[in-house]
Amino acid sequence: MLRPTISSGMASRITSVALLPVLATAYISSSMTPSTFGARRAFHSISRPSALRTASPSVLPLSQRRPIARGAAALRSAYTITEEGKFPSEEYRVFFKEDGKTISPWHDVPTWADKKAGIVNAIIEITKDTRPKMEVATKEESNPIKQDMKKGKLRDYPLDIFWNYGMIPKTWENPKAEHPEMKAFGDDDPVDIVEIGSKPISRGTICQIKAVGTLAMIDEGELDWKVIGVSTEDPKCKDINSVADMEKAFPGQIDAIREWFRNYKSDGKFEGGKWVDITEGQNSFGLGEECKDMAYTAEVIEETSEQYAQLMSGKVDADGLWLKK
């Protein structure tokens, strides 16, 4: 599939990012209203940093939200991101480059940053406390980040997502493979990761996240793993080595993540920090709704990495996915 045509009037802005831990500046959605901002505060009364309670609700373009690259010498290979098109729009894309050459965030970034320590590389698609449903475009050349479309319109979540959200590169959930425990097929996407830490991380950042737990979400009959972890840049990360540690560091947030993903497609409303008036449209969870431990999480990542390898080898039909040749 060819890259979308970008008109001459559209801006192109370049921002430095890195395959390294980052410190990102705050980014709050322009779609926020006073009522949703209040609901979000109520929801996060469980554990909400004061810096975010006072953050400005304005949107900063990526070119003004420059993450700071830091880390070990072995990971000094810097990437850049290039925005094409006006945000928000159907044409808007975030492309990834290395040494001036366009790369794919799905195919060209390693899955693991430190496998022994359980640390993955992650592509941040959606910054916490924002609403536009951004995603790596798996069917477009070079797999840029774009805003999802639904029924011909740009798709927003019905409320802000309260965590940084992205994908783990070189993973794939095979829609033709039934999981033996869940009895559900994959959702045809890379594995999702929820970063539970205290700071917003800018869209397009490639960062390192300690993958601590996993929820087995069933979305419209498809298995959609939700790995939960914390950025290695978060000061609490060094003390988090289990689901219990994560619950202690961020009390109530695992349950909050489960309920957010259970209900965001439902006909319910989010009021006063909780979901109400739900009659239909909820997602479900397998494995007794348990957040599985680090060992199980690593197995999920390895399993979906193997499915990705089968996809890239041609053993599984790509069905329109853009695969780097």
Domains and CATH numbers, the chain: 111-131+157-313 (3.90.80.10)
210 and 297 Cβ atoms separated by less than 8 Å: no
Gyration radius from the chain CA atoms = 19
Full 3-state SS string of 76-107: CCEEEEEEECCCCCCCCEEEEEECCEEECCCC
Q: Which positions are annotated as active-site residues?
A: 157
Give me 256's structure tokens: 């909050």
Neighbours of 68 (CB within 10 A): 13
Task: Give me the amino acid identity at 187.
Answer: D
pLDDT by residue for the chain (325 residues), tens only, comes to 433 433 334 444 444 444 444 333 333 333 333 334 334 433 433 333 323 222 322 233 454 343 333 343 333 357 899 999 999 999 999 999 998 899 999 999 999 999 999 999 999 999 999 999 999 999 999 999 999 999 999 999 999 999 999 999 999 999 999 999 999 999 999 999 999 999 999 999 999 999 999 999 999 999 999 999 999 999 999 999 999 999 999 999 999 999 999 999 999 999 998 999 999 999 999 999 999 999 999 999 999 999 999 999 999 999 999 998 7
- Entry pTM: 0.81
